[in-house]
């Protein structure tokens, strides 16, 4: 099957009705309950009322999904005005929304400058599947790491995202997908968990989440808070290239599922593909995985393995992979390489990927091959790159040609 390249027409900013977030105000989104209580003090709320107000605000923000204080019907007008004067709860600007012909959606969000910086843009992707929908969230603008097969890796790190910016990717996607209740009525029905379109989140967008540990932790603790956004921690996966010192903390302090971008089973090759391996080689990485808090056969680590033609796709590699992971409760996720203009890598042939998967399956590992999604809108893994270095039209055409030549078939 040849993938049809039908770039959807991006919706314009005006059509999306985005209300840009004011840069000068602090956002209440992303604050812990204690921080929010302190913030309410700044807005003049007496101490004895703060806990109750925090509870109210938490519900409005994370259950009802309001993005304007005026929609908080049970908060007095005076307090709403005081909150509005000091704080914001607005979403980022939606610069672009693209919908792939397979239903995948990609948003380009713009966040206001922090301090003396400039506005930044990042991408977030929604992938609908049978029985579930996954939102792929970014943690940084660009990346300091330079994995040789990753498009984001060619872009310098601009800055870390804040907890607010990580959470508003989820909240804005929920707005656009209708996962929040109708906000214009005080009693708009709450969308039950089983009716929501976003059921899972993965920290697999732009950036290395464990190089932005504190903000990612804050955001994920709020995303999984049972009185708010209520995503189960088992439905949140954090993917790391292998920042060993933060792996234990991820399980201990955040408690979400872990994915490791493995991609190679020998140090010499992994040094080239995932250069952080020079700092934290395979043995240290696998030891950290064995010690991951909560690890069991019911809670396995996912090992991601990008299939690169004639680089890491032989049966000898598959054998070494099985040997390396011996005794670690693991799932292996084979990712067909997604090409981008300027890359020297090619995706392995389909037959090779299937043979590799069969070998691993026979060794007792679940090894799904990740179907590339949203390739026509450049939404697949490793293709995200922010607007600061937006793809030129000539590059898009080059990519289109590469995909038609065969890489886009899967």
CA distance 234 to 211: 22
Angle 33-42/47-58 helices, nearest 10 degrees?
120
* CA-to-CA dists, residue 299 to 116, 138, 225, angstroms: 43, 24, 20
Instruction: Choose the one of ligand SF4, ligand SAH, none that binds residue 335, judging by a C-beta under 5 to 8 angstroms depending on kind.
Output: ligand SAH
Query: In this structure, are residues 68 and 89 in contact, taking their beta carbons and an 8 Å threshold?
Result: yes
Q: What are phi and psi of 83, to 5 degrees?
A: -65, -45
Taking the complex as a whole, how short is the minimal distance between the CB of residue 226 and ligand SF4, in angstroms? 30
The interface region with ligand SAH, picked from 45-53, 164-172, 283-291, 334-342 by CB under 6 A, is 334-342
**Nearer residue to ligand SF4 within complex by CB, 88 or 155:** 155
Taking the complex as a whole, how short is the minimal distance between the CB of residue 305 and ligand SAH, in angstroms? 8
Q: Is residue 212 a contact point for ligand SAH (CB under 6 A)?
A: no
**Nearer residue to ligand SAH within complex by CB, 196 or 309:** 309
Q: Is 214 a catalytic residue?
A: no
Judged by CB under 6 A, the residue of 67, 100, 152, 386 near ligand SF4 is 152
Taking the complex as a whole, how short is the minimal distance between the CB of residue 64 and ligand SAH, in angstroms? 31
Judged by CB under 6 A, the residue of 155, 169, 237, 239 near ligand SAH is 239
Q: Is residue 261 a contact point for ligand SAH (CB under 6 A)?
A: yes
**Nearer residue to ligand SAH within complex by CB, 112 or 133:** 133
Displacement of CA 327 from its chain's centroid (Å): 29
Task: Find the catalytic residue in 136, 143, 147, 381.
Answer: 381
For 271, the enclosing helix (H) or strand (E) is helix 267-273
Tokens of 124: 């977030």
Instruction: Choose the one of ligand SF4, ligand SAH, none that binds residue 337, judging by a C-beta under 5 to 8 angstroms depending on kind.
Output: ligand SAH
CA distance 289 to 236: 17
**Nearer residue to ligand SAH within complex by CB, 150 or 265:** 150
**Nearer residue to ligand SAH within complex by CB, 168 or 241:** 241
CA distance 24 to 34: 22
CA distance 227 to 92: 23
Q: Is residue 285 a contact point for ligand SF4 (CB under 6 A)?
A: no
Task: Find the catalytic residue in 96, 97, 121, 123.
Answer: 123
Tokens of 58: 């938490």
CA distance 140 to 149: 18
Tokens of 292: 């991951």
Judged by CB under 6 A, the residue of 161, 381, 399, 403 near ligand SAH is 381
CA distance 223 to 329: 26
Tally the C-alpha atoms within 13 A of residue 315's C-alpha that lie toward its C-beta. Answer: 8
CA distance 172 to 169: 5
Tokens of 204: 């697999």
Q: Is 351 a catalytic residue?
A: no
**Cβ-proximal residue to ligand SAH, closest one:** 382
Displacement of CA 129 from its chain's centroid (Å): 16
**Nearer residue to ligand SF4 within complex by CB, 153 or 372:** 153
Residue 53: name the closest of 75, 25, 82, 30 by CA.
75
CA distance 235 to 224: 9
Tokens of 147: 């994995």
Judged by CB under 6 A, the residue of 96, 337, 385, 399 near ligand SAH is 337
Q: Is residue 292 a contact point for ligand SAH (CB under 6 A)?
A: no
**Nearer residue to ligand SAH within complex by CB, 224 or 277:** 277
Which residues, 341 to 360, sit near ligand SAH by CB under 6 A? none
Which residues, 19 to 78, sit near ligand SF4 by CB under 6 A? none
Long-range (24+ apart) CB contacts under 8 A made by 283-287 are 284/244, 285/242, 285/244, 285/260, 286/324, 286/325, 286/328
The interface region with ligand SF4, picked from 19-27, 29-37, 84-92, 142-150 by CB under 6 A, is 142-150
Binding mask 241-280 for ligand SF4 (x = CB under 6 A): x-------------------x-------------------
Q: Is residue 145 a contact point for ligand SF4 (CB under 6 A)?
A: yes
Judged by CB under 6 A, the residue of 45, 141, 147, 334 near ligand SF4 is 147
Query: In this structure, are residues 327 and 370 in contact, taking their beta carbons and an 8 Å threshold?
Result: no
Residues of this chain that interact with ligand SF4 (CB under 6 A) are 143, 145-147, 150, 152-153, 207-208, 241, 261
Residues of this chain that interact with ligand SAH (CB under 6 A) are 147, 149-151, 204, 207-208, 239-241, 261, 304, 306, 335, 337-338, 381-382
Q: Which residues are catalytic?
A: 123, 381
């Amino acid at each position: 099957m040849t993938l049809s390249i039908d770039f959807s027409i991006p919706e314009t900013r005006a059509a999306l009705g985005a209300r840009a977030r004011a840069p000068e105000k602090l956002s209440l989104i992303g604050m812990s309950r204690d921080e929010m209580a302190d913030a309410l003090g700044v807005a003049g709320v007496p101490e004895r009322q703060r806990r109750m107000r925090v509870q109210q605000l938490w519900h409005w923000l994370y259950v009802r999904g309001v993005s304007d204080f005026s929609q908080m019907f049970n908060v007095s007008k005076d307090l709403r005005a005081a909150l509005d004067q000091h704080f914001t709860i607005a979403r980022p600007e939606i610069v672009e929304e693209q919908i792939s012909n397979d239903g995948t959606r990609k948003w380009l969000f713009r966040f206001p400058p922090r301090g003396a910086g400039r506005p930044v843009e990042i991408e977030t992707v929604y992938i609908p599947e049978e029985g579930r929908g996954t939102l792929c969230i970014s943690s940084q603008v660009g990346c300091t790491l330079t994995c040789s097969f990753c498009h984001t890796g060619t872009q310098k790190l601009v800055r870390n995202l804040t907890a607010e910016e990580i959470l508003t990717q989820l909240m804005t996607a929920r707005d656009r997908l209708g996962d929040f209740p109708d906000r214009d009525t005080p009693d708009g029905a709450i969308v039950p968990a089983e009716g929501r379109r976003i059921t899972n989140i993965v920290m697999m967008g732009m950036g290395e989440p464990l190089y932005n540990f504190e903000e990612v932790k804050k955001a994920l603790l709020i995303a999984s808070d049972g009185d708010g956004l209520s995503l189960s921690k088992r439905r949140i996966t954090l993917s790391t290239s292998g920042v060993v010192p933060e792996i234990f903390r991820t399980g201990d302090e955040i408690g979400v599922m872990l994915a490791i971008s493995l991609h190679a089973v020998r140090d010499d090759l992994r040094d080239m593909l995932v250069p952080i391996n020079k700092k934290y080689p395979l043995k240290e990485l696998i030891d950290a995985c064995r010690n991951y808090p909560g690890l069991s056969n019911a809670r396995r680590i996912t090992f991601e393995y990008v299939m690169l033609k004639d680089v890491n796709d032989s049966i000898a590699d598959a054998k070494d992979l099985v040997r390396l992971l011996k005794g670690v409760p693991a799932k292996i996720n084979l990712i067909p390489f997604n090409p981008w203009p300027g890359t020297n890598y090619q995706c392995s042939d389909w037959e090779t990927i299937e043979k590799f998967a069969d070998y691993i399956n026979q060794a007792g590992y679940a090894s799904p091959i990740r179907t590339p999604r949203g390739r026509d809108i450049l939404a697949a893994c490793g293709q995200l790159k922010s607007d600061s270095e937006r793809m030129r039209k000539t590059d898009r055409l080059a990519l289109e040609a590469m995909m038609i030549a065969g890489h886009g078939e899967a």
